Amino acid sequence: MSEKKRILSGIQPSGALTLGNYVGALRNWVALQKTDEYECFFMLADLHTITVRQIPKDFRKNAMDLLALFIACGIDPEKSPVFFQSHVPAHLQLSWVMTCNTYMGELSRMTQFKDKAKKHATNINAGLFTYPSLMAADILLYQADLVPVGHDQMQHLELTRDLANRFNNAYSETFKVPEAYIPKVGARIMSLQDPTQKMSKSDTNENGYILLLDPIDQVIKKIKRAVTDSGSEVKRGEGKAGVENLMSIYSAVTGMSMDEIESAFIGKGYGEFKTAVAEAVAETLRPIQERYLDLMKNKDYLEKIYRDGAGKAAYIANKTVAKVYRKVGLIQP
């Protein structure tokens, strides 16, 4: 048995990835993997994605793109299994047990459910409602110690912890109770057009988000068009949400602290600052885009990654399912 702490995280292949996804999720995964302190599992949460109706052809493309982007962003599949959730049936097997231990009231309080129900009013399906029980299964299957997620997933993680404790109390110690790992810098990148909203790929205004695969000239244009206030100083403060967001993007891609950024740009205007932000973001995205293009030429390699990943994931996940099924009193097959 490995002595290392275990990490599990996932992203849905529900569309093209944004800079927010990169800064708030993927980039931290890569950093955590590099420390060598953790055994990491990275999942493409494709079963979660179908809680919203997908066009099959686009869905397949998004899923392969996301897989290639995981690797292009620096995840090493030799070190950290990368797999599709749908390739490891244990997720669904444990998900049912979790669903039977989740209260309707708990699910009704989930803000993501309320938001998505509003957005997809003609398809408020049961899967959208029980989504958090599947997510709990994803995490508990691997006895994960840490779950790196953006701030918006915190409520789901709290529920996962409650479900782990509930099960452990009812049936004896079974699950590790996982901790959230939320990065301080870049936990939330906001829309470039409305800094009160998070940067989101489902924004109807495409100037609000930067996609990892946006052509570089477009990335630069989007940053130059980003809303700022009528002042001119590069600093944090009341009414400076737009500038502050650009500062946190700059901080995320350069590693500079907010204080260092303020000092570096004293006496310089928004124009100059935006140019610096655009260049720094472009520099981050260029190598990712190049690696992505290379990977997409090598489908066999991508297939090998997800097959090997699913094999390693299933080995651990199946053991948890067997234990859980036994504990709840199901007859062993």
| Residues belonging to the active site | 116, 198, 201
**Among ligand LTN, ligand ATP, none, what does residue 21 contact (CB within 5–8 Å per kind)?**
ligand ATP
Under the binding rule (CB under 6 A), the answer on residue 39 touching ligand LTN is no
Closest distance to ligand ATP from the beta carbon of 150 (Å): 2
Given 11, 67, 280, 302, the residue binding ligand LTN (CB under 6 A) = 11
Given 7, 8, 24, 288, the residue binding ligand ATP (CB under 6 A) = 24
The 3-class SS string of the chain reads CCCCEEEEEEECCCCCCEHHHHHHHHHHHHHHHHCCCEEEEEEECHHHHCCCCCCHHHHHHHHHHHHHHHHHCCCCCCCCCEEEHHHCCHHHHHHHHHHCCCCHHHHHCCHHHHHHHHHCCCCCCHHHHHHHHHHHHHHHCCCCCEEECCHHHHHHHHHHHHHHHHHHHHHCCCCCCCEEECCCCCCCCECCCCCCCECCCCCCCHHHCCECCCCHHHHHHHHHCCCCCCCCCCCCCCCCHHHHHHHHHHHHHHCCCHHHHHHHCCCCCHHHHHHHHHHHHHHHHHHHHHHHHHHHCCHHHHHHHHHHHHHHHHHHHHHHHHHHHHHHCCCCC
Under the binding rule (CB under 6 A), the answer on residue 99 touching ligand LTN is no
Given 8, 23, 72, 163, the residue binding ligand LTN (CB under 6 A) = 8
Given 150, 178, 195, 242, the residue binding ligand ATP (CB under 6 A) = 150
Closest distance to ligand LTN from the beta carbon of 258 (Å): 26
Under the binding rule (CB under 6 A), the answer on residue 147 touching ligand LTN is yes
Which residues of the shown chain bind ligand ATP in the complex (CB under 6 A)? 11-12, 14, 18, 20-21, 23-25, 149-150, 152-153, 188-189, 198-202
Residues forming contacts to ligand LTN in the complex (CB under 6 A) are 8-12, 45, 48, 135, 138-139, 147, 149, 153, 156
